[in-house]
Amino acid sequence: MRLVRVGAAVLNQVPLDWDGNERRIRAVLADARDRNVAVLCLPEMCTTGYGCEDAFQSPATLAEAWRVLDAVLPETRGLIATLGLPVLHHGSLFNAVAVCCDGKLLGLVAKRNLAGDGLHYEPRWFKAWPNGVVDRWRTPDGEMVPIGDLLFDCGGLRIGLEVCEDAWVAQRPGATLAGRGIDFILNPSASHFAFDKNRVRERFVIEGSRAFAVTYVYANLLGNEAGRAIYDGGALVATGGAMVARGKRFSFAETGLTVATVDVEATRVMQARTASYTPRFDEEDDLVSAPFIPPPAPLGDGAGVGGDAEADLAAPEAWEATGRVREEEFTRAVTLALLDYLRKSYSRGFVVSLSGGADSAAVSALVALMVERALRELGRDGLEAKLAYLGPGWLARTAEDVDAEDVDGTAKALVRRLLTTAYQATKNSGDVTRHAAADIADALGSTHYELDVEDLVVGYRSRVEKALGRELSWATDDLALQNIQARVRGPSVWMLANITSSLLLATSNRSEAAVGYATMDGDTCGGISPIAGIDKAFLRSWLRWLETDGPLDLGPVPAMAAVNAQQPTAELRPPEYEQTDEGDLMPYPVLDAIEAAAIRDKHGPAEVYRLMRSHYADREALEVLGWVERFFRLWSRNQWKRERYAPSFHVDDRGLDPRTWCRFPILSGGYARELRELRARVETET
């Protein structure tokens, strides 16, 4: 038995935050040394931050990345550690990982498979390193070090790398590395959160450890790094086909370290007894060797070689076994993203135009849940430190009348400080939504205002009527009269945001974005749009869950009953019109099903119609046709709105954000031929 302690780090980094990124790297290196870790994997691009975008092409960025690496090299004494950075070599930029051992840079492994789909644009900045190639790179200090498709032998411990996307492709580098008798595969990743994605990660980590007979160490970023992507952390360690350690996901901590004690001899024997294993002896040019004596590997707080305590570290978190994982993930991802966006933008709070409907209620609730989650995980002192820019003692002043042990009371006091809501009424607003907004604000603890904006609507209407020389009416000017009510609400909440130095949160959802059912400069006002990636059907389901159950560690918000009892409505037409969202559009489940078929699966109108007819066989053919026609026409004419939405959080790898998944021309033919031919055929058949 040869026991070695390995570690997988998670870091909440910020693009181009050289001081902060270096500080967090130093902190996790120190933690690893304190816990006798011998082999440590840090996340991809941890020196620069992963989301630097075109700043990767700046020589200044490359120079600062090297400065960070050079500064922390001495902190790798007693360790084997990986540190990611961009490297310019032979006129090309590479996504590289520096492998350091005992305070020295041994070499650089360059990423072979670049992520270029969805929100990833790596091929815009980087070149893929060719398979099997090894070269020499001159550091800014003039030293020549190997770069390329390398593996490392440090004191007899053999290490190879799969860098993030390398593990997601069919021809994984691990298959080649396995033949070289490696003991560890390290995977420094920047793998963003999306629904259902973590299960895939766990599968390739476990399967990699089994198929390659190694210990597989997976590290990841954490938090809302650059504005849109959310990283859930979730470090993983598997050995010989078994998961031995899982790190916490969606933590509010700045750094995290997941450790496991593994038996190197056990995986070597596993290779030896595998009939299909074929060793390779023909290549040694890619092997970098260095002396290294690993620290002793006590079993105390690590996992890996057996026992009940170790098994517990490999178990999923309790909330992942509730049966409502998607609701839990959504809550944890967005609340983490909100707190990171708040502090990284140095804002002093949030403002929401609280209409009494589902969307604004959900956004407001997420802010309150953010406060409660952060307070429970970090405590008063930890949360105050995280928001230190608000001034010394800000939390104590905010909650000065609340007992320090009263978490719920402190949370409510903090929500009052950090969340401002406003109900803005016109003559078409009803008592139901007014009371719902007030009830929700009271339950959450927000600072709440009621503003009457009817005089603003009348003012704009009378000015335009005077200019046109005629009266406006609902018969001829329906859309204009609806939109002006939504638009006059924008300046008030923007003003509140400016006065309080807060972020205004937009409240439009994904279903509305698909068909443009939102007023630009109205409900789309905001610096960020937290739920723009969430469809209405899921949002309503989430609100019902929040009313009755809520997150495992926080509990329900019963006040959401006031929203859940309503039919969604923009409440912009006079009451006698009995306006509802679904009456204006179509049933939300239908809209979401059409969007999935048309946009996610890329089917044309005829194919979508056939699918919807099979899904809704009890509805008339012309009604289904009307839904399909309405979707494609509204989708095509409203791309300009989706381009103008405030940045949204990426929670679904099949979203509509043009920056993170779905690009579509602003001007197009709008499927005119396809829809015309489809209608002719359906009318003939019926």
In single-letter form, the type of residue at position 482 comes to: Q
Look at residue 282 in the predicted model and tell me its pLDDT: 63
Give bridge partners of residue 230 from the DSSP assignment.
224
Give the list of residues 6+ apart from residue 71 with CB closer than 8 angstroms, or none: 22
- Backbone φ and ψ for 363, nearest 5 degrees, come out as -60, -45
Look at residue 307 in the predicted model and tell me its pLDDT: 34
Look at residue 407 in the predicted model and tell me its pLDDT: 80
Look at residue 408 in the predicted model and tell me its pLDDT: 82
The gap from C-alpha 38 to its chain's centroid, in whole angstroms, comes to: 31
Structure tokens belonging to residue 46: 């941890």
Q: Is residue 627 part of a domain?
A: yes
Q: Do 390 and 571 contact (CB within 8 A), yes or no?
A: no
Question: Could you read off the pLDDT of 373-382 as tens digits, one per residue?
Answer: 999 999 989 9
Determine the Cα–Cα distance for residues 682 and 686; give it in Å rounded to an integer: 6
Q: Is residue 374 part of a domain?
A: no
Q: At what angle do helices 605-615 and 621-637 cross, to 10 degrees?
A: 140
Q: At what angle do helices 605-615 and 672-685 cross, to 10 degrees?
A: 40
Q: Is residue 424 part of a domain?
A: no
Beta strands in 490-617 (DSSP E): 503-504
| Residue (of 632, 358, 351, 584) closest to 482 by Cα position | 584
Look at residue 475 in the predicted model and tell me its pLDDT: 94
Beta strands in 90-188 (DSSP E): 92-101, 104-110, 134-138, 144-148, 151-154, 157-161, 184-188
Look at residue 311 in the predicted model and tell me its pLDDT: 41
Long-range interactions of 342-346: CB distance < 8 A, separation 24+:
342/387, 342/418, 342/503, 343/386, 343/387, 343/389, 344/14, 344/224, 345/503, 345/527, 346/389
Q: Is residue 341 part of a domain?
A: no
Look at residue 397 in the predicted model and tell me its pLDDT: 77
Name the strand (E) or helix (H) holding 238. Answer: strand 236-239
Q: Is residue 465 part of a domain?
A: no
Q: How many domains does the chain have?
A: 2
The residue out of 282, 316, 350 marking a domain boundary is 316
Q: Is residue 529 part of a domain?
A: no
Structure tokens belonging to residue 631: 């979707």
Residues of the chain with pLDDT under 70: 275, 281-284, 299-312, 404
Q: Is residue 640 part of a domain?
A: yes
Structure tokens belonging to residue 596: 């999935």
10 Å CB burial of residue 278 (0-12, 13-18, 19+) is exposed
Q: What is the CATH number of the domain that holds 139?
A: 3.60.110.10
The residue out of 285, 316, 347 marking a domain boundary is 316
Q: Which domain holds residue 646?
A: 586-686
The residue out of 263, 289, 316 marking a domain boundary is 316
Q: Is residue 12 part of a domain?
A: yes
Q: What angle do CA 324, 330, 336 make, to 5 degrees?
A: 135
Q: What is the CATH number of the domain that holds 684?
A: 3.40.50.620
